[in-house]
Structure 1
Amino acid sequence: MSDAQAIEGGFAAPVFDAQLVFRAVMDGMARPGTVQSVAGLASPPAPLAALAGAVALTLCDHDTPLWLDPELTLNSAVKTWLGFHTGAPIATTPADAHFALVSRPSTLMALENFAQGTQEYPDRSTTLILQLESLVSGPELLLEGPGIERMAMAAPTPMPRHFVEQWKQNKGRFPRGVDIILTGPEGIACLPRTTRIKTMES
């Protein structure tokens, strides 16, 4: 793939498209687990999916170091595309990342390896953008917490290994901890660190 091909596929209407995606992310954070329907609006090189790429274009810039999982790191076209459209520097370690772009969540390292923020500056943590096969066809998770009236259900797949236990530890670090943006064919859903998650069996 040529450099010219690697930088095609950005937002057709950058301001308008970024506003649409940003609104979907904000609505998702305000109502954890709900699927916000939004088109990808971008066409990044494979294996980066359209909506995960669109979220990266919306949130990342030259001040936000971006960590890529191994599959994306090895893809020069993806790195060129992200660099051209966002200007975000590539973080060499997950602890240095403001955002993390994950194409294979099932093989993701433990959440504790990413920046957790501090008690004084909890926002200095990593927001993970997970690229999923589906937001609705995985094992059902029960969600509780701010933004949820009583209880909500989500069924994203595939998720990181031992996710529910990892998330319990993540919530235990509050106000520190990571937040997660889920992207899939159906749209965007979010899991802010304030959300409690358990399985149907627990």
Structure 2
Amino acid sequence: MTTAELPPGFADKVLSAQSTFRSVMNAMARPGTVQRIVASAGAPDGVMHGTAAIALMLFDHDTPIWLDGAMSTSDVAKWLKFHTGAPIVTDSAMASFALIADPGNLPALDRFSLGSSEYPDRSTTLILQVDSLSHGLAYELRGPGIDGATVLTASIQPRDLFDRLAVNATLFPRGIDVVLVDGSSIVAIPRTTRLAHGKD
């Protein structure tokens, strides 16, 4: 694929970036709630609209990115390089963000950067493309930004994602933040969010 054949980035860079930023900030402020990214953006095959918009808004030449096997195509790499300039790294522990198209094969969380006590913000944020953020299991979530509890109904791989994220409680302020993506819909699971229980 040549540069001329690459899918476009944002239709309107400034307004689209601002709109996407608001959606991501709302998702982080209200963990477990579904937010929608409305900004128009192109995306290569295998990259959902929400993932593409987040990449266009957040990534730059100082943002190392790790791609899982399903994301590691030349088209995705070329699109990211052309539109964001973000370096793609092979060592997941060096990444600021990890793009996961096959979350069923998500590596162990300790393969990513967990940050440090001095710089907890230097952890890797995982962006997981999931099957659904409207159908599936019901996950009751608690934590800062949640009034009591909120229920997320979603079809998520790996099925034990929230069990894995429980390690955040012992790591805080270090830890892993997660953004779930289903098409144009996103849900943030910050490191302070806990699973109360899951049920059918």
Structure 1 gap segments, 5+ residues each:
none
Partner of 1:151: 149
C-alpha distance in 2 between matches for 1:50 and 1:116 = 27
Contact map agreement 1:67 1:97 (CA 8 A) in 2 = yes
Q: Establish whether residue 189 from structure 1 lines up as the match of residue 195 from structure 2.
A: no
C-alpha displacement of 1:44: 1.0
Mean Cα deviation higher: 183-192 or 110-119: 183-192
C-alpha distance in 2 between matches for 1:78 and 1:119 = 33
Instruction: Please identify which structure carries the higher strand content.
Output: 2
Question: Hey, which bits of structure 1, 4+ residues long, moved more than 4 A?
Answer: none
Mean Cα deviation higher: 134-143 or 81-90: 134-143
Two-structure CA RMSD over aligned residues (Å): 1.4
Partner of 1:168: 166
Aligned partner of 2:66: which letter? Answer: W
- % same residue: 46
Mean Cα deviation higher: 168-177 or 11-20: 168-177
Superposed counterparts of 1:116-155, under 5 Å: 116-155=114-153
Structure 2 gap segments, 5+ residues each:
none
Contact map agreement 1:35 1:186 (CA 8 A) in 2 = no
Mean Cα deviation higher: 142-151 or 162-171: 162-171
C-alpha distance in 2 between matches for 1:40 and 1:103 = 21
C-alpha displacement of 1:186: 5.4
Query: Which of 81, 84, 87 is residue 86 of structure 1 equivalent to?
Result: 84
Contact map agreement 2:37 2:53 (CA 8 A) in 1 = no
| Deviations 1:27-47 (CA, angstroms, capped at 9, x unpaired) | 110110111122252121101
Contact map agreement 1:164 1:198 (CA 8 A) in 2 = no
Mean Cα deviation higher: 191-200 or 53-62: 191-200
Partner of 2:61: 62
C-alpha distance in 2 between matches for 1:186 and 1:50 = 5
C-alpha distance in 1 between matches for 2:64 and 2:175 = 17
| Deviations 1:57-101 (CA, angstroms, capped at 9, x unpaired) | 11111111001011111x101100011111100021110000111
C-alpha distance in 2 between matches for 1:79 and 1:156 = 29
Q: 1:181 to 1:42 in 2, by over 3 A?
A: same
- Secondary structure (helix, strand or coil) at the match of 2:20 reads helix
Partner of 1:17: 16
| Deviations 1:155-201 (CA, angstroms, capped at 9, x unpaired) | 23232242122011123211101101111135111000001113335
Query: Which of 173, 178, 181 is residue 180 of structure 1 equivalent to?
Result: 178
C-alpha distance in 1 between matches for 2:154 and 2:94 = 27
Query: Which of 98, 102, 109 is residue 100 of structure 2 equivalent to?
Result: 102
